[in-house]
Amino acid sequence: MTDVTTTAMTVLPIPDETSAPFWEAAREGRFLIQRCPETGLYQWYPRAHSIHAPHATPEWVEASGRGELLSYSVVHRGNTRGDPYTCALVRLEEGVTVFSRVEGVAEADLRSGLPLAVAFHRLDDTISLPIFQPAISRPPSIAGGSDA
């Protein structure tokens, strides 16, 4: 996974007790998701309970970091607010869908199914933000999961 330098953000994510393991791993260049210990199914976003077995506490596992572009929107802001950027839904190989930014792809080359891989923007000493870039290797094989 790649460490990428970024421009300033106006609002940083605020880790809480539930999301702290995710942010700690992101700082190390690892992308974590949660897995239900009873069903083995993945989930995203971080929760204190499994969405597949609500009485179970999910475990953190390292995701492949590979996925495909499902949908996107290119955001064009006013002429003093910087370059356009791409917000996207990315389906990971593990089957969960994450909302992130896509970088390193010309707007004309964006398409559903585009293979992507995670990279990280170091925002400060405590927060690294996962973003997605074009994948260099093989296309992902999408597995079952849930983002409910």
Digitized pLDDT (tens) for each residue of the chain, 148 residues in all? 444 544 555 688 999 999 999 999 999 999 999 999 999 999 999 999 999 999 999 999 999 999 999 999 999 877 666 788 999 999 999 999 999 999 999 999 999 999 999 999 999 988 999 999 999 855 445 555 556 5
Q: What angle do CA 24, 36, 42 make, to 5 degrees?
A: 70
* Residues 6 or more apart in contact with residue 69 via CB below 8 angstroms: 88, 89, 90, 102, 110, 111, 112, 113, 114, 116, 132
At 80 the pLDDT is 65
DSSP state of 95: S
Amino acid 6: pLDDT:
47
> Which pTM value belongs to this model?
0.83
